[in-house]
Amino acid sequence: MTVVQAGQVNLTAQQVPGVIVAIQPPGPAPINGVPSNIGGIVGTATWGPVGVPVPVSDYAGGAAVFGPMQARKYDLMTVLNWAAMQGNVGAFALVRVTDGTDVAAAATFSTNFVTLTSKYTGSLGNSISAILGTGTAASTTKLTITLAGYQPEVYDNIPGAGATLRDNIVKAVNFGNSQFRGPSTMCVATAGAGTAPPTLPATINLTAGTDGATSITGSMLLGTDTAPRKGMYALRKSGASVIALTDCDDSTTWSTQVAYGLGEGSYMQMVGPAGDTIANAATTKGTAGIDTYAGKVIFGDWVYVNDTTINQVRLISPQAFALGLMVNQSPEKSTLNKQLQGIVATQRTYNNQPYSTAELLQLVQAGIDVLTNPSPGGKYFSFVLGLNSSSDQALREDSYTRLTNYIAYSIDAWGGKFTGELQGFDDEDDTRSNAFAGLDQFMSNMADVRPKMIDAYKVVLDRTNNPDARIRAGWMQANVQARYMAVVRNFLVNLQGGQTTVIVQ
């Protein structure tokens, strides 16, 4: 008896009697939708790796890697904090950038004995301290590294004296010294030329760490697309469906951002400078030459928030709220009229300057969205237009961007398994049947779920769109149509009243 996987044995060439059990796959390959709740954020930080996308689920998780938020422009953690306030189902991929002047904090025990350097560049490293003292076991030494908000790292019972002790301390920090105490996550140790340890106990405080955040530009936030990737490009293949380059009000970056968004299936959240005028915003967008569903341009009416870490009301970009809202709602949903959390005021509402209908019409015609209060549904903060940057009436809803990317990239992640399979010329070909079943099931799930994600769909994958010539050329084609649910932009109520009104039941 032989047990094999389907397709492993040439069933037309078996001559020896016996049993062959061929394990068949369990039916048509289903399409599992790609995550639509990952928001990519690029900005500066006080700690953490540079140019590496780090997945986190909330502000606490982000702060553990990149340090606390700072009251400054381009701050990564600021966007994360207010994005996370918009719901608890969103996830985030964070990328730190620097201007190249970032420095790791450092300090040395005794005269060139052992130098501790913070694992990452940034000012948070200046809060690291280390104590060298007597170990628990006789004739040993203990090193304790501390940083506020992090678990202390204790390296106990380090043996040796002189140069041997020096080298053992370095090994303990860099490689760990027991099954319970692995390598340091805070520091890297380097052996110096000195062999005389300090008088115990000895304490050092790391200093001179800098963030590299004083001269950030739009091009630095964009980064580089060659290895090692940096900035925005570090988010490639991260699954981020919505991306914000923190506080990047440089319109010269917009065309590059939307090119990335079109290639990666990401919805780019772009913003104008704080205190912008509508006329300038419209001119700037026209000059930038972007007219696409891949980006959302948000008017430069920035947002006042209450930063409880420094007890200060400060101004931040509206990008945080757009990104946070979208990763916390299903991709077919619009941002239009959805209540946002954590806002004190915008620049316009703070000065009691509501938008007129004429001003909102200018923004609509320019393909620019705006966050303000009141909203169509009441006195709360929301995006009141729900638009991407496209001028095409069929494409301009931001829900079009989100849902189209979701469907397209879900199919893309699934469809590759059919490459290399065999396709026949008869009407009941198994490969086409399996592919059709997967597509039909995926689209049906979106049409049947409540509330619906799409209104109706059609899948064609048979001999009508796969003629002999195409099959011979190595092609298999599926035609998929989906009718989306329509966003209600206007609600008309016809009211007839008066004592002469005739009511016909």
Looking at residue 94, its pLDDT comes to 98
For CA atoms 274, 280, 286, 288, the dihedral sign is: negative
Q: Mark whether 391 and 479 lie in a shared domain.
A: no
CATH of the domain at 183: 2.60.40.4290
| Residue 15 maps to a domain | no
Domain with 492, as residue range(s), is 428-505
Rounded Cα gap, residues 123 and 145, in angstroms: 17
Rounded Cα gap, residues 269 and 291, in angstroms: 14
- The per-residue b/e assignment along 370-406, b for 16 or more CB within 10 angstroms, e otherwise, is bbbbebeeeeebbbbbbbbbbeeeebbbbbbbbbbbb
Q: Mark whether 258 and 373 lie in a shared domain.
A: yes
Looking at residue 12, its pLDDT comes to 77
| Residue 422 maps to a domain | no
| Residue 5 maps to a domain | no
Is residue 409 within 8 A of residue 314, CB to CB? The reply is no
If DSSP codes are grouped into helix, strand and coil, which group holds residue 327?
A: helix
Q: Mark whether 282 and 385 lie in a shared domain.
A: yes
Q: Mark whether 382 and 432 lie in a shared domain.
A: no
Tens-binned pLDDT, residue by residue, of the chain (505 aa): 588 887 788 877 877 787 878 787 776 678 999 999 999 999 999 999 999 999 999 999 999 999 999 999 999 999 999 999 999 999 999 999 999 999 999 999 999 999 999 999 999 999 999 999 999 999 999 999 999 989 999 999 999 999 999 999 999 999 999 888 999 999 999 999 999 999 999 999 999 999 999 999 999 999 999 999 999 999 999 999 999 999 999 999 999 999 999 999 999 999 999 999 999 999 999 999 999 999 999 999 999 999 998 899 999 999 999 999 999 999 999 999 999 999 999 999 999 999 999 999 999 999 999 999 999 999 999 999 999 999 999 999 999 999 999 999 999 999 999 999 999 999 889 999 999 999 999 999 999 999 999 999 999 999 999 999 999 999 999 999 999 999 999 999 999 999 999 998 8
Looking at residue 391, its pLDDT comes to 96
Rounded Cα gap, residues 70 and 77, in angstroms: 7
Q: Mark whether 468 and 342 lie in a shared domain.
A: no
Q: Mark whether 386 and 450 lie in a shared domain.
A: no
Tell me the CB-side half-sphere exposure of residue 303, using CA atoms within 13 A: 30
CB within 8 A of 274, min separation 6: which ones?
A: 249, 300, 302, 315, 317, 347
Q: Mark whether 385 and 256 lie in a shared domain.
A: yes
Residue 25: cis peptide before it, omega within 30 degrees of 0: no
Q: Mark whether 360 and 242 lie in a shared domain.
A: yes
| Residue 411 maps to a domain | no
Looking at residue 343, its pLDDT comes to 98
Is residue 27 within 8 A of residue 61, CB to CB? The reply is no
Is residue 482 within 8 A of residue 454, CB to CB? The reply is yes
Task: Residue 445: count other Cβ atoms within 10 Å of its Cβ.
Answer: 14
Nearest to 44 by CA among 105, 122, 103: 122
The model carries a pTM of: 0.94
Q: Mark whether 82 and 113 lie in a shared domain.
A: no
Angle, vertex CA 44, rays to CA 39 and CA 45, nearest 5? 100
Task: Take residue 171 and report the two structure tokens written for it.
Answer: 């090994």
Q: Mark whether 89 and 112 lie in a shared domain.
A: no
Nearest to 121 by CA among 99, 93, 136: 99
Residue 66: which H helix or E strand, with range? helix 59-66
Query: What is the secondary structure of 283-323 as a DSSP string?
Result: HHHHHHT---TTEEEE-S--EEEEETTTTEEEEE-THHHHH
Nearest to 342 by CA among 93, 79, 70: 79
Q: Mark whether 320 and 393 lie in a shared domain.
A: yes
Rounded Cα gap, residues 252 and 245, in angstroms: 13
| Residue 8 maps to a domain | no
In the chain, the amino acid numbered 172 is A
What's the Cα-to-Cα distance from 81 to each of 88, 171, 274, 316, 348, rounded to whole Å? 12, 37, 20, 11, 23
What total of structural domains would you count in the chain? 3
Task: Take residue 490 and report the two structure tokens written for it.
Answer: 């206007």
Rounded Cα gap, residues 363 and 388, in angstroms: 11
Q: Mark whether 329 and 471 lie in a shared domain.
A: no
Is residue 276 within 8 A of residue 416, CB to CB? The reply is no
